[in-house]
Amino acid sequence: MKIENLTNITIATLGSHSALDICRGAKDEGFKTLVVCQKGREKTYSEYYLTQNGVGCVDECLVVDTFSDILKSSVQKKLLEKNAIFIPHRSFETYLNFNYQTIEKKFKVPMFGNRYLLNIEERGRRPNQYDILDKGQIRYPKQFTDPKKIDRLCLVKVLEKERSFERAFFIVNTYEDYQKQVKEKLKQGVFTKKQIEEAVIEEYVVGVQVNFNFFYSLLTKRLELLGTDMRRQTNAEGMTKILSPYQDEVIKRLTVKYEEAGHVTVTVLESLLEDAFILGEKFVKVSQTLVAPGIIGPFALQTIIIPGPPKKEIIVIDVSPRMPGSPGISATPYTHYLFGRSISVGRRVAMEIKQALKNNSIQLIVT
């Protein structure tokens, strides 16, 4: 999408996920901010973090009946009149029902990053993240397309029936165990038969979870590590805090949930940073050949670090080709090492847009 007017740019996003991170970063770099909010969910942006009396980061809140109304021509017209550059995040895809054709063709607002790369998160589409990982020779957990061949502890990733944006993960170790759990969960209505048929079954990798949150700058051709974090998930995390004699009984009564509730910042050994950067560089390079122009701006490789011998190894378990949902990563030291100060992902995005406007190269980083 071409930006006709390069003055008075507004940074816009959807009121969920990482909107405050985006807005604070934009304000710090001198941009106006706008958040599109759903009625009944707007107070975080229209009251608690509204710009007023020298505090806050949301300059304007555009309230719609449902998030999907952002596709209405009247709403898009307002965004275009505001000279908006839109920053996508996972909730943007979710509340548009993962309709990537609509995002690619009918959303007319200029978008920071590669809108044609967002759909690689969906495993049923091609190319997807596994195509990029395969071509880049980036290791990820062994997958089983036939559940009869399960011969180790595995994690089954399947969408929920009621909330298609959440995944009803469960753990199995044999085909018989898989059959038993699928039968029970189908009966409970956790997921549908079609959803379990489309599920991903992969080896359960035992190690330390670390998300490497990168930023690739098309302006400088540089890959940057902005920070590292790990997820906090309900109620799986709570299960681990129950004394072992009671865990089996609790698991019988509750379905284990891996719903994301927040994040925890972590750091990694410096000896692992080169390996992490190599994975990030491979991912960027392959993305450029499969979905030109490839990664623009933030992306994350969600990983498990496993022990040696011969040495610790980073296994990629998931990919996020857009804004991360963990604003706390700026508390890790990696941007300070690079820039001499801590920088949030939202601010790094705004810095890139600001530099591109200054260089008259904004068209390189919006689609």
* 127-174 residue pLDDT tens: 999 999 999 999 999 999 999 999 999 999 898 877 766 677 889 999
Same domain, 133 and 281: yes
Same domain, 242 and 332: yes
pLDDT at 2 over 80: no
Give the strand order in the sheet containing 32-38.
60-64, 32-38, 10-14, 84-86
Structural contact between residues 345 and 215, judged by C-beta atoms closer than 8 angstroms: yes
Q: What is the DSSP string of 32-85?
A: EEEEEEETTS-HIIIIITB-BTTB-SB-EEEEESSGGGGGSHHHHHHHHHTTEE
Flag whether 238 is in a domain: yes
Mark which of 183, 203, 223 sits at the end of a domain: 203
Flag whether 84 is in a domain: yes
Same domain, 197 and 238: no
Note the pLDDT of residue 166: 66
Note the pLDDT of residue 258: 74
Structural contact between residues 138 and 176, judged by C-beta atoms closer than 8 angstroms: no
Same domain, 174 and 211: no
Q: How many domains does the chain have?
A: 3
Flag whether 315 is in a domain: yes
Mean pLDDT of 87-99: 93
pLDDT at 12 over 70: yes
Flag whether 3 is in a domain: no
Relative orientation angle of helices 345-358 and 19-28, to the nearest 10 degrees: 50
Q: Which two tokens stand for residue 117?
A: 């790369």
Note the pLDDT of residue 16: 97
Flag whether 364 is in a domain: no
Cα–Cα nearest to 233, from 241, 225, 243: 241
Share of the chain above pLDDT 90, in %: 81
Structural contact between residues 201 and 144, judged by C-beta atoms closer than 8 angstroms: yes
Domain that holds residue 79: 10-111
Flag whether 333 is in a domain: yes
Flag whether 348 is in a domain: no
CATH of the domain at 59: 3.40.50.20
Position 163, amino acid: R
Flag whether 15 is in a domain: yes
pLDDT at 28 over 70: yes
Structural contact between residues 288 and 296, judged by C-beta atoms closer than 8 angstroms: no
Same domain, 167 and 87: no
Same domain, 46 and 173: no
Cα–Cα nearest to 109, from 13, 19, 219, 174: 13
Note the pLDDT of residue 161: 79
pTM for the whole thing? 0.93
Position 181, amino acid: Q
Note the pLDDT of residue 231: 86
Mark which of 182, 203, 224 sits at the end of a domain: 203
Note the pLDDT of residue 45: 98
Same domain, 221 and 156: no
pLDDT at 114 over 70: yes
**Is the dihedral angle over the CA atoms 71, 72, 77, 78 positive or is it negative?**
negative
Same domain, 191 and 218: no
Same domain, 226 and 192: no
pLDDT at 115 over 90: yes
Note the pLDDT of residue 124: 74
Mean pLDDT of 244-248: 78
Same domain, 215 and 333: yes
Position 355, amino acid: Q
32-38 and 60-64 beta bridge pairing: parallel
Same domain, 52 and 172: no
pLDDT bucket at 261, cuts 50 / 70 / 90: confident
* Measured CA angle at 2 (ends 132, 14), to 5 deg: 70
Same domain, 254 and 280: yes
Note the pLDDT of residue 123: 75
Q: Which two tokens stand for residue 301?
A: 């490789």
Mean pLDDT of 175-192: 93
Note the pLDDT of residue 34: 98
Structural contact between residues 55 and 362, judged by C-beta atoms closer than 8 angstroms: no
Residue 298 region, left (φ>0) first, then alpha (ψ -120 to 50), else beta? beta
